Structure 1
Amino acid sequence: MSVSSPPQKDIQESPEAGFGKRPLGKRLIEANTFWIGLVLLALVILFSAIAPDSFPTLFTFQTLFIESSVLLILSVGMTFVIITSGIDLSVGSVLILAGMVAGKVMEALSGGDASKAGWGVILVGLVVAVVTGTIWGLINGVLVAVAKIPALIVTLGTMGAALATAYLLNGGSDLRTVPAELTKTLGYGTSFGIVPNLVIVAIVITVIGAWLLRTTKFGRYTFAVGSNAEGARRAGIGVTAHLLKVYTLTGFLAGIAGFLSLAYYNSTTISGHTTDNLNAIAAVVMGGTSLFGGVGTILGTVIGVFIPAVLRKGFNIIHVQDFWQMFIVSWVLVAAVWFDQRRRRRHNSR
Structure 2
Amino acid sequence: MINKLSTKPAAATPAEPATFSSTEPSFFRTVFTSTAFMIMLVVVALILLFGVLSPNGVFLGAANFRNLALDSAQLILLAVGMTFLVGAGELDLSIGANVILSSVVAAKVITMLGGTPEEVLAGNYQNVGVAIVMGLLAALVTGTLFGVVNALLVNILRVNSFIVTLAMMSVGSGIAYIVTGGVNVSALPRDLQRNFGSADLLGVVPVPAVIAIVVGIVGWYMMTKLRFGTHTLGMGSSIRAAQRAGINVKLQRIRLFALMGLIAGMVGFIDISRFLTTNIQGHQGDALAAIAAVVIGGTSLFGGRASVLGSMIAAIIPAILINGLVIMRVGSFYQLVVTGLILLIAVGIDQRRRAHSS
Instruction: Give the match for residue 198 of structure 2.
Output: 188
> Within the alignment, does 1:71 sit opposite 2:75 as a pair?
yes
Asked if the contact 2:295–2:346 (Cα under 8 Å) also holds between the matched residues in 1, the reply is yes
How far off its partner does 1:22 sit? 8.2
Instruction: Give the match for residue 14 of structure 1.
Output: none
Instruction: Give the match for residue 185 of structure 2.
Output: 175
How far off its partner does 1:94 sit? 0.7
Greater Cα offset, 156-165 or 48-57: 48-57
Asked if the contact 1:103–1:177 (Cα under 8 Å) also holds between the matched residues in 2, the reply is no
Q: Tell me, which stretches of 5 or more residues in structure 1 are unaligned?
A: 1-19
The 1:137–1:327 alpha-carbon spacing in structure 2 relative to 1, beyond 3 Å, is: closer
Instruction: Give the match for residue 287 of structure 1.
Output: 297
Question: Secondary structure of the equivalent of 1:49?
Answer: helix
The 1:125–1:321 alpha-carbon spacing in structure 2 relative to 1, beyond 3 Å, is: closer
Q: Find the partner of 2:84 among 61, 76, 80.
A: 80
> Within the alignment, does 1:300 sit opposite 2:304 as a pair?
no
- How many aligned positions are there? 329
> Within the alignment, does 1:331 sit opposite 2:331 as a pair?
no
Instruction: Give the match for residue 260 of structure 2.
Output: 250
What is the alpha-carbon distance in structure 1 between the residues aligned to residue 151 and residue 345 of structure 2? 31
How far off its partner does 1:33 sit? 1.9
> Within the alignment, does 1:44 sit opposite 2:44 as a pair?
no
Asked if the contact 1:190–1:197 (Cα under 8 Å) also holds between the matched residues in 2, the reply is yes
Greater Cα offset, 134-143 or 44-53: 44-53
How far off its partner does 1:221 sit? 0.8
How far off its partner does 1:21 sit? 9.9
Counterpart code for 1:144: V
- 1:137-286 equivalent positions in 2, closer than 5 A: 137-286=147-296
How far off its partner does 1:92 sit? 0.7
Question: Secondary structure of the equivalent of 2:281?
Answer: helix
Greater Cα offset, 26-35 or 277-286: 26-35
Asked if the contact 1:311–1:329 (Cα under 8 Å) also holds between the matched residues in 2, the reply is no
Greater Cα offset, 86-95 or 182-191: 182-191
Instruction: Give the match for residue 108 of structure 2.
Output: 104
> Within the alignment, does 1:309 sit opposite 2:314 as a pair?
no
> Within the alignment, does 1:128 sit opposite 2:133 as a pair?
no
> Within the alignment, does 1:53 sit opposite 2:63 as a pair?
no
What is the alpha-carbon distance in structure 2 between the residues aligned to residue 259 and residue 50 of structure 1? 35
How far off its partner does 1:125 sit? 0.8
Instruction: Give the match for residue 13 of structure 1.
Output: none
Counterpart code for 1:311: L
TM-score w.r.t. the length of structure 1 is 0.89
Asked if the contact 2:105–2:138 (Cα under 8 Å) also holds between the matched residues in 1, the reply is yes
1:149-171 deviations in Å (ceiling 9; x for gaps)? 21011101111111111111111
Question: Secondary structure of the equivalent of 2:282?
Answer: helix
The 1:22–1:146 alpha-carbon spacing in structure 2 relative to 1, beyond 3 Å, is: farther
1:261-302 deviations in Å (ceiling 9; x for gaps)? 110111111222222122212221222211111112111111
Counterpart code for 1:193: G
Question: Secondary structure of the equivalent of 2:315?
Answer: helix
1:57-115 deviations in Å (ceiling 9; x for gaps)? 11011001111212221221111111111100111101110111111112122222444
Counterpart code for 1:34: F
| Seq. identity, % | 36
> Within the alignment, does 1:35 sit opposite 2:38 as a pair?
yes
Q: Tell me, which stretches of 5 or more residues in structure 2 are unaligned?
A: 1-22
Asked if the contact 2:292–2:342 (Cα under 8 Å) also holds between the matched residues in 1, the reply is no
The 1:329–1:133 alpha-carbon spacing in structure 2 relative to 1, beyond 3 Å, is: closer
Question: Secondary structure of the equivalent of 1:295?
Answer: coil
Counterpart code for 1:90: S
What is the alpha-carbon distance in structure 2 between the residues aligned to residue 314 and residue 295 of structure 1? 32
How far off its partner does 1:303 sit? 1.6
Asked if the contact 2:98–2:172 (Cα under 8 Å) also holds between the matched residues in 1, the reply is yes
Greater Cα offset, 267-276 or 76-85: 267-276
Counterpart code for 1:89: L
Structure having the higher Rg: 2
Q: Find the partner of 1:94 among 86, 95, 98.
A: 98
